[in-house]
Amino acid sequence: MMESPTGDHVSDRVEDSPRPSITDRLAHLCASRELLEFYRGKVTQFDGEHEDLLEKYRCTTEDQKLQWEVGVSELQKALREREQALRLYSENNILKIREREDSKRIQHLLALVGPDIGGITYSHSDPPFKVGGRSPGSILPHCLMSHYMTSDRERYLVAEGNQKSRSEGVVNGGSSEQYRSANQTLVLQVLPAQMEEQTGLSKEKVESLLEDPSFIIFLLCPFSLRLEGTQNLTDESSRDFLKLKFETQAREMVEKDRLLRELDTNQDRLREARDSHGREPPGSRGPSSVDRSDKMAKRLQMMTQRYEALKKRAAMEVERFKSDIKHLKQKLKDVEKQLFKVSMGQMLYACVLPVVRQINVKTRKVQGELKAKIYELEKDLHYS
């Protein structure tokens, strides 16, 4: 049995027709309190999902903070070890320099005193610090031991030279002055070299510290802590603001429901009064019924004014909340930019932020559509 071409054409047309939007589909729904309650439940559900996303974002931020602190502590430890090694190297170099200076000074003193077999004696006894074999955990390095040995030998030679000068008397009377002047000249000649060497060592140490990324991270630690504190304060203020906003919306909804119920009751009473007045003959109406109708009209007018005032107040509160939210969002964006600049290499934070922003945009869009439709339905209920 063949299918009719007309039916196929109609089905293709139905499939090709675009799906109506949410506004068009909601426009065909009948306004009722059940529908209003349903959409309020949906809005509450979306708010709960938004809070869950904020909680996940906070947990992710805390985990990232802990990882950052662990990394900073490890880098600080490595920096301390490096500083200790540099300090040991510098002390070793200083001891080597002193050893060379002492050897030069001894040679200069020997040249000034001159070789005298009868006046100079050499000691073949063991030095005060006898070194057998160096162990890995020895306290004094080899250069320090040699420095002590050289210093003792120098003191011994100087004492022998002084003894010789005292024994010679008048013949060598000017040797002490020559020795002092020569010693001072030698010290003055050595000082510039020492200063230049110390300056070079300091510059190299500063350059190595500046080139070390761990030292740069150590300098950035206070700023990171301040930035994290600012972010925590921003999160707390945003959470408090959202809580206050939800409480205010709940109070406004309760107050609006109460006023709507009172308005419905007054409208029913007014309708019943009008019906009763319409059924009564014109001559049977007394002044009491006229007074009651006037009172009811005044009360209805007063309730309408209160309702309008409440609507204006709600609109003003909404505008104020919108401006506050915009201001807080701007602050949050600034903090996010600073945090992104500090933690540029961490890809987890850069991946989480776009997802959270997209979810927030979609949530706000759906909430705006639902709230606009709810306000339209409430307006239709009021004027129906």
User: Which helix H or strand E contains 104, and what residues bound it?
Assistant: helix 33-113
CB atoms within 10 A of CB 150: 19
Q: Mean pLDDT: which of 154-158, 299-303, 337-341 is highest?
A: 299-303
In 250-274, which positions are buried (b, 16+ CB within 10 angstroms) versus exposed (e)? eeeeeeeeebeeebeebeeeeeeee
CA distance 158 to 340: 68
Confidence of residue 105 (pLDDT cuts 50, 70, 90): confident
Among 102, 81, 83, 103, CA closest to 91: 83
Residue 1 burial (10 A CB sphere; 0-12, 13-18, 19+): exposed
In the chain, the amino acid numbered 159 is: A
Higher per-residue pLDDT: 305 or 165 = 305
**Contact at 8 Å (CB) between 35 and 29?**
yes
CA 373, CA 31: separation in Å to the nearest integer?
Answer: 10
Higher-confidence residue of 259 and 351: namely: 259
The C-alpha atoms of residue 361 and residue 321 are separated, in whole angstroms, by 17
Residues 316-342: what's their mean pLDDT? Answer: 77
Q: Is the pLDDT of residue 286 over 80?
A: no
Lowest mean pLDDT among 105-119, 205-219, 325-339: 105-119
**Average pLDDT estimate for 120-147:** 41
Spatial contact of 227 and 338, defined as CB atoms under 8 Å apart: yes
Mean pLDDT of 61-83: 88
Reported as a pLDDT band with limits 50, 70 and 90, residue 349 is: low
- Average pLDDT, integer, range 84-102: 86
Average pLDDT of the segment spanning 73-84: 87
Checking if the pLDDT of 103 tops 80, the result is yes
Question: Rounded to an integer, what distance in angstroms lies between the CA atom of residue 233 and that of residue 231?
Answer: 5
Integer Cα distance of 121 and 101 in angstroms: 23
Query: Which band of pLDDT confidence, cut at 50, 70 and 90, is reported for residue 132?
Result: very low
Mean pLDDT check: name the lowest of 30-39, 244-253, 300-309.
30-39
**Mean local confidence (pLDDT), 206-215:** 73
346: confidence class by pLDDT, cuts 50, 70, 90: low
Mean pLDDT of the chain: 72
Is a pLDDT exceeding 60 seen at residue 176?
yes
**Residue 113 burial by Cβ neighbours in a 10 Å radius (0-12, 13-18, 19+):** buried
* Sequence spans of domains, the chain: 76-130+140-214
